[in-house]
């Protein structure tokens, strides 16, 4: 299985970055895409109108998000693991992102998708 490692610095405190990722309303505002779900450990979520679905496996407020994550086009029951670690750097936050256990042929598509569909819109949203 393939892996992706990305590090992104946001000009916002960790709490704002955390909420922009786990809170369905905030994520929808950031991306402009339909999002649903509860920001609680164990809760299910969907993003981009159901194209992405998953569950919050572990949540440590303002520090760590671990999700079981899948694309709608993947075979039923196939999930990857997305891990978002938030590291404060002064008035900014470094997000250390690792995505593991997805099909190898999806690596390039997913790496580009994280940049275009997550990091760029969230960066613009947070200012």
pLDDT digit string (tens) for 112-127?
999 999 999 999 999 8
pLDDT digit string (tens) for 33-83?
999 999 999 999 999 999 999 999 999 999 999 999 999 999 999 999 999
Residue 1 has pLDDT above 80, yes or no: no
Q: What is the DSSP string of 56-98?
A: EEEEETTTEEEEEEEETTSPTT--EEEEEEEEEETTEEEEEEE
Report the distance separating Cα 106 and Cα 68, nearest Å: 16
- The domains of the chain, with CATH numbers, are 2-126 (3.30.530.20)
Distances (CA, A) of 74 to 51, 70, 80, 84, 119: 10, 7, 10, 22, 23
What's the confidence (pLDDT) of residue 103? 87
The pTM of this model reads 0.95
């Amino acid at each position: 299985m393939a892996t992706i490692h990305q590090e992104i610095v946001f000009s916002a405190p960790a709490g704002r970055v955390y909420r922009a990722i786990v809170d369905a309303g905030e994520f929808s505002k950031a991306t402009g895409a339909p999002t649903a779900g509860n920001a609680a450990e164990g809760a299910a979520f969907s993003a981009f109108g159901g194209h992405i679905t998953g569950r919050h496996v572990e949540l440590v407020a303002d520090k760590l998000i671990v999700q079981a994550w899948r694309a709608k086009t993947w075979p039923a029951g196939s999930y990857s693991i997305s891990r978002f670690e938030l590291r404060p750097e002064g008035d900014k936050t470094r997000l250390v992102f690792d995505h593991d256990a997805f099909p190898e042929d999806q690596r390039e598509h997913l790496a580009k998708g994280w940049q275009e569909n997550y990091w760029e819109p969230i960066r613009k949203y947070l200012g």
